[in-house]
Amino acid sequence: MSIFLVVGASGTVGTELSRLLAQAGHTVRKATSRAPTQPDQVLFDLTTGQGREAALAGADAAFLLSPPGHTRQHELLNPLIDAARAQGLRKLVLMTAMGANADEASPLRQAERHLEQSGLAFNIIRPNWFMQNFNSYWLPGIQAQGQILLPTGNAKGSFIDARDIAAVAAALLVSNRFDGQDFDLTGPEALDHDQVAALLSQAAGKPIGYQDIAPEALRGTLLGAGLPADYVEFLLLILGFFKAGHAERVTDAVQAITGQAPRTVAQYAADYRAAWA
């Protein structure tokens, strides 16, 4: 059995990834930027580097991501990649985002390139928009107005369940079958937000709609929620990419790596119905 460091272990993907690895009998080190309260947690603040070397020491492999709220992701991830190499880890799995490789100058792409050139065994996974955004980030609009409020027009997205992302990450961490490869991860279908709203309505047993709003309206909401201004602009930028049709592509990567078909939005909605009901 192996020792795996999971960065972002309390997040949507990291929580499920940690569970899957532990279920398979591996030792999981859950990185936390706060004082550890559980025996499987280890202090590591990615934004400051505090605890980095200790968190990596003795680990076999690690799952990396940049926390939300930061737009210069390579400044956080590159030193971690260098430290992992120095500590002798055998492999890193880095999660970025679908489309990150479209611009060589983007911070996420710079982090990907740094990993590719590190000499370590690696995989890069680029998931599309999470289904779980509808029961987290976009939930306030649904609760307050019964509407998904986004500036995405009638464009479609191949939304992916975070549980499938975690299953892919777990499979890549424990195997060298796909070493050196990168994967765009999507769900099995592309839907627009009206179609998503209809599926959420059916599962929740209450009407939920979708309203295309101006980017300026969402900007005010996000700033009011306390998000950093540069991160708000980053979110609006990638939502603009969605509206332009760049999130519609469907891949077979989840099936190819895990042997299981990715979950549909209908399955997700049924599992999370309590969030909207």
155-183 mean pLDDT: 98
Can you give the CATH number for the domain in which 196 is found?
3.90.25.10
Instruction: Answer whether residue 93 is part of any domain.
Output: yes
Long-range CB pairs of 18-21 (<8 Å, 24+ gap) are 19/166, 20/166, 20/167, 20/170, 21/170, 21/173, 21/174
Residues 237 and 134 in one domain: yes
Mark whether 53 and 73 lie in a shared domain. Answer: yes
State the CB neighbour count (10 A cutoff) for residue 119. 8
138 in the same domain as 89 = no
Instruction: Give the CATH number for residue 109.
Output: 3.40.50.720
Cα distances from 140 to residues 122, 148, 161, 266, 272, in angstroms, run: 37, 9, 20, 21, 15
Regarding whether 12 and 112 lie in a shared domain, the answer is yes
Q: In the predicted model, what is the mean pLDDT of residues 118-136?
A: 97
Alpha helices, H only, 29-161: 52-56, 73-87, 107-116, 139-145
- Domain end residue (candidates: 127, 147, 168): 127
Q: Is residue 237 part of a domain?
A: yes
98 and 135 within one domain: no
Range of the domain at 102: 3-127
105 assigned to some structural domain: yes
| Tens digits of residue pLDDT in 34-57 | 889 999 999 999 999 999 999 999
Position 109 in a domain: yes
Asked if the structure places residue 167 within a domain, the reply is no
Query: Three-state DSSP class for 131?
Result: helix
How far out from the chain centre does Cα 178 lie?
A: 20
143 occurs within a structural domain: yes
Same domain, 236 and 133: yes
53 domain residue, yes or no: yes
Do 112 and 134 belong to one domain? no
- 254 pLDDT band (50/70/90 cuts)? very high
The tally of domains found in the chain comes to 2
Task: Summarize the confidence of residues 162-172 as an average pLDDT.
Answer: 98
pLDDT tens per residue across span 198-228: 999 999 999 999 999 999 999 998 899 898 9
Helix (H, G, I), strand (E, B) or coil at 37: coil
Residue 13 sits in the same domain as residue 140: no
Same domain as 89, residue 145: no
The answer to whether residue 114 is domain-embedded is yes
Is the pLDDT score of 150 beyond 90?
Answer: yes
7 and 107 in a common domain:
yes
pLDDT in tens, 75-121: 999 999 999 999 999 999 999 999 999 989 999 999 999 999 999 99
Helical segments of the chain, H only: 12-23, 52-56, 73-87, 107-116, 139-145, 162-174, 193-204, 215-224, 229-243, 253-258, 265-271
Q: What CA–CA distance (Å, rounded) separates 66 from 69?
A: 9
- pTM for the predicted model, two decimal places: 0.96
Q: Are residues 148 and 194 in the same domain?
A: yes
Same domain, 211 and 109: no
